[in-house]
């Protein structure tokens, strides 16, 4: 087990990456907190595989362990489920010195993280991500939140974990679609900063899609290294951290407009990146090479590259009220490989890019 430090000011923490490292949770949790009680927040499929290992490790280190199992899917990130979790915290009762453990994918991490951020005005959190998307992105950086009908993650808080444990072995039990969606975020890191990631994926597309653990571990490490560096320089997304949202402006609107149940997040990001590349191309920021390279890579990895036809006015409205819109619809675009930039393209350019992806 080795670590990558997320060097956020005043509260640096380690992302532990390795194989078979879940049993280290108790040691990490008690080493980083003064907790006497732990609330493990998880979902049914994850619990069946890993809850026994996780709770045993925590109890071996003399923690009083409680478990809350939330519904599956993005729909769990709701005010109603949040209320239930607050009630669970009160019933235990979970005190300010105690810890919440988020065991699962991005939904669990976002929701459990928001509970930790708000319960008793903030208690410690350990992220134990079990999907590729969560290991490379969602569990790192302290973003937490829930969804509303009006948009994704509109209610939330920045709340950094005290540690992250990314066990590569947990990826072996994922169904193919859930594993593959994580490549949406991995490709993003390759496009905005570390082009070696693209080379690795292109050379090992079949192995990546099949879940080769050695390759996945390398991809997780490189992705975490990118995110850790960006987050450390911009904790609250006031500057370059916004570059991590490449593909997300359209992706979040797509998820919202399709009721959060048609596309997994990484799938929406894949389509959103192609929209962003079309916009950049249309604005003359770069030529077609980036899009022509990215499209077959996403397809080879099993990610969607076509968008459904959706109401343009509705899409624009959702994108305009996104929490990152900041005086207009803001997109992260590329001026070249590894050269992200923030722009506010006009509506006609955006509509043409969406139409190109819809008709692709």
Please provide the DSSP assignment of 180-224 as one string: HHHHHHHHHHHHHT-HHHHHHHHHTHHHHHHT-HHHHHHHHHHHH
Beta bridge partner(s), residue 129: 104
- For 60, half-sphere exposure in the C-beta direction (CA atoms, 13 angstrom radius) is 14
Q: Tell me, yes or no, if 159 is annotated catalytic.
A: no
* Active-site annotation holder among 77, 221, 248, 330: 248
Rounded to an integer, what distance in angstroms lies between the CA atom of residue 38 and that of residue 34?
11
Q: Say what the pLDDT of residue 150 is.
A: 86
Q: pTM for the complete prediction?
A: 0.94
Please give the Cα distance from 264 to 222 (Å, whole number).
Answer: 23
Active site residue 143: yes
Which residue in the list 66, 77, 245, 281 is annotated as catalytic? 245
Distances (CA, A) of 134 to 175, 281, 298, 329: 15, 30, 19, 26
Provide the residue-wise pLDDT of the chain in tens; the chain has 360 residues. 779 999 999 889 999 999 999 999 999 999 999 999 999 999 999 999 999 999 999 999 999 999 999 999 899 999 999 999 999 999 999 999 999 999 999 999 999 999 999 999 999 999 999 999 999 999 999 999 999 988 888 999 999 999 999 999 999 999 999 999 999 999 999 999 999 999 999 999 999 999 999 999 999 999 999 999 999 887 877 788 899 999 999 999 999 999 988 999 999 999 999 999 999 999 999 999 999 999 999 999 999 999 999 999 999 999 998 655 555 799 999 999 999 999 999 999 999 999 999 976
Q: Clarify whether 185 is annotated catalytic.
A: yes
Specify the pLDDT at position 321: 81
**Cα distance between residue 103 and residue 105, in whole Å:** 7
Catalytic, 323? Answer: no
**Phi-psi group of 165: left, alpha or beta (phi > 0 → left; psi -120 to 50 → alpha; rest → beta):** beta
**Two tokens, residue 282:** 């249309």
**Is 2-173 assigned to CATH 3.40.190.10?**
no
The residue extents of the domains of the chain are: 2-173, 176-358
* pLDDT score of 29: 96
Q: Which of 37, 227, 291, 330 is catalytic?
A: 227
Question: Is 265 noted as a catalytic residue in this protein?
Answer: yes
Q: What is the Cα–Cα distance from 211 to 12, expressed in whole angstroms?
A: 31
Candidates 16, 66, 143, 222; catalytic one? 143
Active site residue 62: no
Q: What is the pLDDT of residue 327?
A: 59
Comparing CA positions, the residue from 106, 144, 245, 105 lying closest to residue 188 is 245
- Give the integer Cα–Cα distance in Å for 97 and 219: 35
Dihedral sign (CA 315, 357, 75, 230): negative
Instruction: Return the pLDDT at 4.
Output: 97
Backbone dihedral region for residue 240 (phi beyond 0: left; psi -120 to 50: alpha; all else: beta): alpha
For 176-358, which CATH superfamily applies? Answer: Dehydroquinate synthase-like - alpha domain (1.20.1090.10)
Catalytic annotation on 245? yes
Verify whether residue 66 is a known catalytic residue: no
Known active-site residue 248: yes
- Residue of 193, 243, 265, 330 with catalytic role: 265
- Name the active-site residue from 16, 179, 193, 252: 252
Active site residue 61: no
Active-site residue, selected from the candidate residues 181, 185, 217, 267? 185
In sequence order, what are the residues at sequence separation of 6 or more whose Cβ sits closer than 8 angstroms to the Cβ of residue 162?
Answer: 11, 13, 32, 33, 99, 124, 125, 126
Q: Looking at 152, 159, 241, 243, which residue is catalytic?
A: 241
Beta carbons of 227 and 137 less than 8 angstroms apart: yes
> Which pLDDT belongs to residue 324?
54
Select from 276, 288, 297 the least CA-distant residue to 349. Answer: 276
């Amino acid at each position: 087990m080795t670590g990558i430090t997320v060097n956020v000011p005043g509260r640096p923490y380690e992302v532990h990456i390795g194989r078979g490292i879940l049993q280290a949770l108790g040691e990490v949790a008690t080493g980083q907190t003064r907790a006497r009680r732990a609330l493990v927040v998880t979902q049914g499929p994850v619990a069946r595989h890993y809850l026994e290992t996780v709770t045993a490790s925590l109890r071996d280190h003399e923690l009083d362990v409680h478990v809350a199992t939330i519904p599956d899917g993005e729909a769990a990130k709701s005010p109603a489920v949040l209320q239930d979790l607050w009630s669970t915290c009160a019933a235990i009762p979970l005190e300010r010195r105690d810890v919440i453990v988020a065991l699962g994918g991005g939904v669990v991490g976002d929701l459990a993280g928001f509970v930790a951020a708000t319960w008793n005005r903030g208690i410690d959190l350990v992220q134990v991500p079990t999907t590729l998307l969560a290991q490379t992105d969602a569990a790192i950086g302290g973003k937490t939140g829930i969804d509303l009908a009006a948009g994704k993650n509109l209610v939330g808080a920045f709340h950094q974990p005290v540690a992250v444990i990314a066990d590569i072995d947990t990826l072996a039990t994922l169904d193919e679609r859930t594993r593959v969606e994580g490549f949406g975020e991995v490709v993003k890191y390759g496009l905005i900063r570390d082009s070696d990631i693209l080379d690795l994926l292109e050379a090992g597309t079949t192995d990546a899609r099949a879940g080769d653990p050695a390759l996945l571990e390398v991809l997780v490490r490189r992705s975490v290294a990118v995110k850790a560096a960006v987050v450390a320089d911009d904790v609250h997304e006031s500057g370059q951290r916004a570059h991590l949202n490449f593909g997300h402006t359209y992706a979040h609107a797509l998820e919202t407009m399709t009721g959060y149940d048609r596309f997994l997040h990484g799938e929406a990001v894949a389509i959103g990146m192609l929209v962003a590349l079309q916009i950049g191309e249309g604005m003359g920021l770069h030529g077609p090479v980036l899009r022509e390279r990215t499209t077959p890579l996403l397809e080879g990895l099993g990610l969607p590259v076509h968008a459904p036809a959706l109401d343009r006015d509705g899409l624009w409205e959702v994108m305009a009220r996104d929490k990152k819109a900041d005086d207009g619809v803001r997109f992260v675009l590329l001026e070249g490989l590894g050269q992200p930039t923030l722009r506010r393209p006009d509506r006609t350019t955006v509509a043409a890019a969406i139409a190109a992806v819809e008709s692709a």
